[in-house]
Structure 1
């Protein structure tokens, strides 16, 4: 070739600046100084003979050429990341990011069946669930998300839509009724905003009391454990708490339920279907959902 191709380091520097909109922040992510990142971008601009950013006093803005380069750089880095990950592993592998409660209670117990069918595939689970992965830079194949977001730029497999039912430990019902417990018991919240119980009261006014106490946690797992220990009544997803309900560690105290609109969804870039092991994992997960 008559023209030398830009290095991956230059493309990575450009893409990080494009996503952060700031040389300093890009340097922090790349563990480089701001000036080093600026030099790399300038070198890439010289190599391509194109100006990629308009540099202003307080911000930088992508030019038309820079905007066109972003998806190309993402694809190049993504493909190289896939190839590097594939060559670095001895066998087939799947790397996931997932909500910790969902991973612990739904996914991990089912992996025994997956391993029985695919003994040579290694699965790793990362529970940094508040951070959606940058698939171009991180060695993450897919994420199991929770919430109401849609994913038009990715492939997505909906696992289930959340419904919540009110439950408590059987010990709380000794000598009383489910109606009385719901009116006088402590309400356990799995999020700091107490949104689920507010939704419940809108749908079933008068089912709770006017002076119920609250026990509030920032995770669903903590709320489930507290409720199982007899500390109050919680609104829980029966899919997530299937074992506790089956073993009668939790008892339903009202026939009603609420649909939150939140969903558990497997989200992944289209290219990851080519990764070794992921196709088998996806097929298995689809069967689990269908079942």
Structure 2
């Protein structure tokens, strides 16, 4: 019926090598040897009478024909997975890439409402400060980015620009009532391209004797505040749950602003997932929940 169609096993091997841009990683995923992967790719290329990969010293790169076939195999295998999952009534997995702080302080605490609305979808979260290239790494369905948002950047949409406020544990403020007495907590970004949001800029020279403790993750700053170690300069988005349960409370001072503008959370959805119903369900839920965080 399909006389020129390569075997499903060879196409599966090609799909893995194309997604991972590596014969070695494809072999690990498929539990075969790199030699077996190389042999099957060569067989496929000979059958199609065209090169699908450019072999480089420590990597492989898709040719134009390889990119064309990769787009098709990815779509076909994903659709097959969705169909089989639907038949056996198993849960589908949505893989999200985001920062450690957003995952631990906002996304995970709020996921129950997503699962209540979409019990057939499981969310897998990948965290890290290094950006995953979601346009190429098809193991990730979408990314929640943090930083300075450029509306001209393709495949992105703005979620929210946060505010930074001053927060501390109630027990800490029972002991420390003035800013002069307080230990100050802030984030020193790992990504040096991000603009600094610091106590020094906020208090200028009016309180030069304060001790400032710095962490390279926002959630470490918040955890330190929860442990009663000082007053945190932190995102109003990330402290939402701590404020809800009154584990933290706002700190007010007549000489300081209540809140200052922070950075922006935005979505990156690759073109091949623009019409994915699970991605659409998650992004709709995320936008709605983020707006509730502002209320």
TM-score, length of structure 1 as denominator length: 0.72
Gaps of 5+ in 1: none
For residue 86 of structure 2, what is the aligned residue in structure 1?
Answer: 86
Q: Matched residue of 1:231: which SS?
A: coil
- The 3 A distance-change label for structure 1 pair 289 and 245 is closer
Q: Give the conservation status (yes or no) of the 8 Å contact 2:183–2:210.
A: no
For residue 5 of structure 2, what is the aligned residue in structure 1?
Answer: 5
Q: Give the conservation status (yes or no) of the 8 Å contact 2:161–2:264.
A: yes
Q: Structure 1, residues 176-212: CA drift from partner, whole Å, max 9, x if none?
A: 554314xx52435476679999532346522553662
- The 3 A distance-change label for structure 1 pair 47 and 129 is same
For residue 221 of structure 1, what is the aligned residue in structure 2?
Answer: 219
Distance across 2 between alignment mates of 1:263 and 1:89 = 34
Worse overlay, 48-57 or 278-287: 278-287
For residue 68 of structure 2, what is the aligned residue in structure 1?
Answer: 68
- The 3 A distance-change label for structure 1 pair 195 and 213 is farther
Q: Give the conservation status (yes or no) of the 8 Å contact 2:19–2:138.
A: no
Distance across 1 between alignment mates of 2:54 and 2:104 = 47
Q: Matched residue of 1:5: which SS?
A: coil
- The 3 A distance-change label for structure 1 pair 220 and 60 is closer
Task: Report deviation, 1:127.
Answer: 3.0
Matched, 1:53 2:53: yes
Distance across 1 between alignment mates of 2:62 and 2:150 = 26
TM-score, length of structure 2 as denominator length: 0.71
Q: Give the conservation status (yes or no) of the 8 Å contact 1:164–1:237.
A: yes
For residue 238 of structure 1, what is the aligned residue in structure 2?
Answer: 236
Q: Matched residue of 2:127: which SS?
A: coil
Distance across 1 between alignment mates of 2:258 and 2:214 = 21
Worse overlay, 185-194 or 121-130: 185-194
Task: Report deviation, 1:231.
Answer: 0.6
Q: Structure 1, residues 32-66: CA drift from partner, whole Å, max 9, x if none?
A: 22211101111111221212234456654443322
Distance across 2 between alignment mates of 1:52 and 1:187 = 53
1:199-218 → structure 2 map (5 Å cutoff): 199-200=197-198, 201-202=200-201, 204-206=203-205, 209=208, 212-214=211-213, 216=215
- The 3 A distance-change label for structure 1 pair 122 and 144 is farther
CA RMSD of aligned residues (A): 4.1
For residue 129 of structure 1, what is the aligned residue in structure 2?
Answer: 127
Q: Give the conservation status (yes or no) of the 8 Å contact 2:135–2:271.
A: no
Distance across 1 between alignment mates of 2:264 and 2:45 = 44
